[in-house]
Amino acid sequence: MFGKGKIVKILNIEGMSCMHCVKKVETALNAVKGVKSVKVNLENKTAEVTLKEDIDIEILKKVVEDAGYEVR
């Protein structure tokens, strides 16, 4: 049935160096309409974004870049 599967996108993020950076990225991504949850891993330099609806990856990238980090 449509809508039952979850949509997860993984972003590789450069420039994070501390837990403040993690919080900044989480806050920025959680503010995007349609984002259900965000898990940022500082060691792996990734953000796992679970979505309520499909969101263009470019929108998520722009939000992270606007927060001061680079998405690879």
CATH number at residue 61: 3.30.70.100
pLDDT in tens, 3-61: 556 899 999 999 999 999 999 999 999 999 999 999 999 999 999 999 999 999 999 99
- Residue 17 domain flag: yes
- Residue 2 domain flag: no
Give residue 26's pLDDT. 98
Exposure b/e, 8-44, CB count within 10 A at least 16 = b: ebebebeebeeeebbebbbebbeeeeebeebebeeee
Q: How many domains does the chain have?
A: 1
H/E element, 51: strand 46-51
d(CA 18, CA 33): 26
Q: Whole domain around residue 61: which residue ranges?
A: 7-71
Give residue 29's pLDDT. 98
CA dihedral 66, 12, 54, 38 (to 10 degrees): -80
- Residue 11 domain flag: yes
Contact status, residue 10 vs residue 38, Cβ threshold 8 Å: no
